[in-house]
Chain A
Amino acid sequence: DTAVSQTPKYLVTQMGNDKSIKCEQNLGHDTMYWYKQDSKKFLKIMFSYNNKELIINETVPNRFSPKSPDKAHLNLHINSLELGDSAVYFCASSQLNKGLFFGSGTQLSVL
């Protein structure tokens, strides 16, 4: 059973399109995250939710909108995709300060 699963694994789309990435965790963790990893492999936090409540909202364009229907799910919707959005997006979950469990990533390519 995969602890943190995100779909799709690969997403290739045209500029201007809207797309969503889904994430689910079965670890019973209270906190979930979206991270962006750029081509230099630096991990940047985008959003963090604790028990469905948004607690971190870094400076990302408002074209990015997270949604947490319950504490096991955190989806990411992106409107009007731009070339610069191309990156790998990771979902993760954690419980308190005990370390993050990551999904396997979604490689987004905007053409």
Chain B
Amino acid sequence: TQLLEQSPQFLSIQEGENLTVYCNSSSVFSSLQWYRQEPGEGPVLLVTVVTGGEVKKLKRLTFQFGDARKDSSLHITAAQTGDTGLYLCAGAFRVDSNYQLIWGAGTKLIIKP
């Protein structure tokens, strides 16, 4: 059974601080996706990382895919109250001609003003 462990489950910090969220697995993924979900809405795709060691930046958010494609991190610099939300990672793997996802349990992030 494939597992994707996401940590921390909950994080509450002051505006302006930095933070990192981790997703780890013993399985190799073809890609790793990060989503943000706000209350009452569906998850919104932030980024997909595909290549081992890949780093992608989205303004103050930096996403990294591990060299072995088994883990990923999301780093937020100088967090703002608008970053508050539930962050989810999902690892994609191929089954026959289709892709399936396994999901992390999510990180609930609260940024205090």
Contacts and interface: CB of A to CB of B under 8 A. Distances in A.
Bound pair: A and B? yes
Contact of A104 (B40, B86, B90): B40
Interface residues of B, number: 26
Report the interface size class on chain A: 20 to 34
A105 B41 contact: yes
A99 interface: yes
A99 B106 contact: no
Contacts of A102: 42-44
Given A42-B106, A56-B100, A100-B45, 7 more contacts: A31-B98, A40-B105, A43-B43, A96-B99, A99-B45, A101-B45, A104-B42
Interface of A: 4, 31, 40-45, 48, 50, 55-56, 90, 92, 94, 96-105
